[in-house]
């Protein structure tokens, strides 16, 4: 896939540098980036994800790409023998910048146009299902063997990129897909082989992969290489930042809470332990929501003079599912900075 972290954050976007720099901020609490992409797997009708692989003929420039409808929200990436190439497109067609020699592998991907669904005060991408990791049976599946002590072991490459092998541990009775979700999740550019089946991270759905591995014939260990294309019935993509999706107040405060916990862990001598309670008697934060503990914990933070850092509405409500305004976000960020400078200077 493209080396871009997000396909919808262009170098020509006014927020490009800030978004990429923020994505590099890793939090001490879990090692994840401060800002994460939003998973999705529902597309606008007739504008879904497309992946096609071809072998070129002599002097070929034009490639049929059935089902593709040109759109700025549906960019196309092309790779010739694993090298990225800028292409031109029109409906159902892709054009190379120069004629190709015969026998080259050409992989073309249309990223699809995600469908946004109205939810309260905002439009958001949708994940109908959590996704099934792409997989492919190896030809020597029945005799597949793995051992770290072998001098030649497993390698997987796709589009010129070497994938990182990860070891997946299964507890008794656990489904392989459940284990992959627990231990890989949305990690990119990884693969594993379990019982002779290759599994990859989501972005290699329908992508050609060259995989090297070992198998056993009698008492002899053999090493082989083959080309496979991992597939899946449904994939959960996470390669878009969705810069125009509006945050709810709960989401915004959850981000602030992650920053707050990170500051405590970094500048104090002990790991931060949340103190979750509804001491301000806020009536509209329900128990058991994904954001409940984070919001309660941060909303109770105070300045040294005893005043709460974050104001509520006049009726003492928080409105967690409401969209945050620019004025509110600036006010909260400013007060958060004032608190951080006072607390950690």
Q: What is the pLDDT of residues 38-65, one digit of tens each?
A: 899 999 999 999 999 999 999 999 999 9
Question: Residue length, the chain?
Answer: 345
State the pLDDT at residue 189: 94
The string of pLDDT tens digits covering residues 94-151 is: 999 999 999 999 999 999 999 999 988 889 998 888 899 999 999 999 999 998 788 7
Q: What is the pLDDT of residue 153?
A: 87
Q: How far apart are CA 112 and CA 323, in angstroms?
A: 27
Residue 2 banded pLDDT, cuts 50, 70, 90:
very low
pTM value is 0.84
Three-class DSSP category at 194: strand
Q: What is the pLDDT of residue 151?
A: 76
**φ and ψ of 65, to 5 deg:** -135, 70
Q: Per residue in 180-207, pLDDT tens? A: 999 999 999 999 999 999 999 999 999 9
> What pLDDT is recorded for position 11?
86
Choice between 33 and 124, residue whose per-residue pLDDT is larger: 124
pLDDT at 271: 83
Q: In what order do the strands lie in the sheet with 197-200?
A: 135-137, 197-200, 190-194, 164-165
Share above pLDDT 70 across residues of the chain, in percent, rounded to a whole number: 96
- Nearest by Cα to 58 from 96, 105, 101: 101
Under the banding of pLDDT at 50, 70 and 90, the label for residue 30 is low
Check residue 3 and give its pLDDT: 40
Strand blocks (E) in the chain: 50-55, 60-64, 76-80, 83-85, 88-90, 93-100, 105-110, 116-119, 122-125, 135-137, 144-145, 155-158, 161-162, 164-165, 190-194, 197-200, 209-217, 220-228
251-289, pLDDT tens digit by residue? 999 999 989 988 998 888 888 888 899 999 999 999 999
List b or e across 142-157, with b for residues whose CB sees 16 or more CB atoms inside 10 angstroms: eebebeeeeeeebebb
* pLDDT one-digit tens code per residue, 4-29: 578 898 888 888 888 877 777 766 65
338: its two tokens: 């004032």
Please say whether the dihedral angle defined by the alpha carbons of residues 241, 244, 248 and 252, taken in this order, is positive or negative. Answer: positive
For 35-38, the CB contacts below 8 A with 24+ separation are: 35/241, 35/255, 36/238, 37/5, 37/6, 37/186, 37/238, 37/239, 37/240, 37/241, 37/242, 38/124, 38/125, 38/238, 38/240, 38/241, 38/242, 38/245
Contact of 276 with 293, CB cutoff 8 Å: yes
């Amino acid at each position: 896939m493209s080396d871009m972290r997000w396909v919808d954050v262009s170098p020509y976007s006014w927020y490009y540098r800030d978004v990429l720099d923020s994505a590099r901020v890793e939090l001490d609490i879990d090692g994840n980036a401060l800002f994460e992409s939003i998973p999705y797997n529902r597309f606008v009708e007739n504008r879904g994800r497309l992946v096609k692989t071809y072998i070129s003929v002599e002097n070929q420039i034009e490639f049929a790409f059935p089902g593709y409808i040109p759109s700025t929200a549906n960019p196309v990436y092309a790779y010739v023998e694993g090298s990225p190439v800028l292409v031109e497109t029109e409906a159902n067609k892709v054009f190379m910048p120069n004629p190709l020699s015969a026998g080259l592998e050409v992989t073309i991907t249309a990223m699809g146009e995600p469908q946004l669904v109205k939810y309260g005060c905002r439009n958001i991408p949708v994940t109908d299902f959590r996704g099934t990791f792409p997989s492919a049976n190896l030809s020597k599946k029945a005799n597949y063997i793995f051992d770290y002590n072998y001098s030649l072991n497993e390698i997987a490459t796709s589009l010129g990129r070497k994938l990182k092998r990860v070891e997946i541990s299964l507890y008794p009775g656990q489904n392989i897909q459940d284990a992959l979700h627990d231990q890989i999740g949305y990690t990119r550019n990884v693969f594993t082989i379990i019982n002779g089946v290759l599994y990859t991270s989501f972005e290699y759905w329908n992508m050609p992969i060259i995989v090297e591995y070992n198998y056993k014939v009698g008492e002899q260990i053999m090493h082989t290489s083959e080309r496979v294309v991992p597939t899946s019935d449904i994939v959960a993509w996470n390669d878009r930042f969705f810069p125009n999706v509006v945050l709810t107040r709960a989401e915004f405060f959850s981000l602030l809470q992650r920053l707050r916990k990170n500051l405590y862990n970094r500048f104090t001598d002990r790991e931060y332990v949340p103190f979750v309670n509804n001491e301000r008697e806020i009536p509209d934060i329900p128990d058991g929501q994904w954001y409940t503990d984070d919001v309660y914990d941060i909303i109770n933070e105070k300045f040294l003079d005893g005043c709460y850092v974050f104001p509520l509405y006049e009726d003492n409500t928080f409105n967690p599912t409401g969209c945050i305004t620019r004025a509110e976000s600036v006010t909260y960020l400013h007060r958060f900075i004032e608190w951080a400078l006072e607390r950690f200077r």
